[in-house]
A and B are shown apart, each in its own frame.
Chain A
Amino acid sequence: KAGVTQTPRYLIKTRGQQVTLSCSPISGHRSVSWYQQTPGQGLQFLFEYFSETQRNKGNFPGRFSGRQFSNSRSEMNVSTLELGDSALYLCASSLEGVSTDTQYFGPGTRLTVL
């Protein structure tokens, strides 16, 4: 069974631009969650999508948004990029959700904002 894939793996953007990251979950998984990983703040929960609906959201500004398609693939968008948005963005998929299910993580997209 193929694992979680994320594209692109690396991105370099400048301040003020916007960016879209993509995540393809494991086949059959309906829940996709996104996390931001930085050296200072560690791993922080961004949001979770389940059956095309945002089900849970972390404490991030509205510049961070996402969506999920009918095939469970998910995209995350960050508008008006700031230097502090430089991070590794991880997505994770699971069968039913975050609370008890094993989360399967992708390798991440490393975003650098200049």
Chain B
Amino acid sequence: AQSVTQLDSQVPVFEEAPVELRCNYSSSVSVYLFWYVQYPNQGLQLLLKYLSGSTLVKGINGFEAEFNKSQTSFHLRKPSVHISDTAEYFCAVSDRSGGGADGLTFGKGTHLIIQP
């Protein structure tokens, strides 16, 4: 089984400032890693995913994340945020070997609040 911890439930940031949303995971097996975003009254949308290869992954809307195996982390970053980035962000993992037996395991989410 896996678990995902998003260390901050809420992150306020001024517009055009950089942001980092933290994600740590725990798993007895290798995992794939994902970041999803949920805008108000909408479903989740994939920002980026790490399956293999380069540990720095670039996604949509200027977001990127870095996989750190030794620290079991997958932090999400953006160099300059906009008002439109206000949303709930979810880190998730899936089991590499289990064929998705546990589905996606999500963290509790981080609410990103952009202040003008």
Question: A residues touching B (Cβ–Cβ < 8 Å)?
Answer: 4, 33, 35, 42-48, 55-56, 58, 90, 92, 97-100, 102-108
Contact = CB atoms under 8 A, between A and B. Distances in A.
Contact of B51 (A56, A98, A100, A106): A100
14 contacts: A42-B109, A43-B90, A43-B92, A43-B106, A44-B106, A56-B99, A58-B102, A92-B44, A98-B94, A98-B100, A99-B32, A100-B49, A104-B46, A106-B43
Contacts of B101: 56
B58 interface: no
Contacts of B41: 107
A47 B103 CA distance: 7
Given A103-B44, A105-B43, A35 B32 contact: no
Contacts of A92: 43-44
Nearest to A56: B101
A51 B41 CA distance: 29
Contacts, number: 70
A90 B103 CA distance: 13
A84 B95 CA distance: 28
Instruction: Label chain A's interface by main secondary structure.
Output: strand
Contacts of A107: 41-43
B95 A42 contact: no
A92 B43 CA distance: 9
B6 to A, nearest CB: 9
Contacts of A56: 99-103
Contacts of B106: 35, 42-44
Given A42-B108, A42-B109, A43-B90, A98 B43 contact: no
A97 B100 contact: yes
A33 B103 contact: yes
Contacts of A100: 32, 49, 51, 94
Contact of B100 (A35, A48, A102, A104): A48
A45 B103 contact: yes
A55 B102 CA distance: 10
A97 B45 contact: no
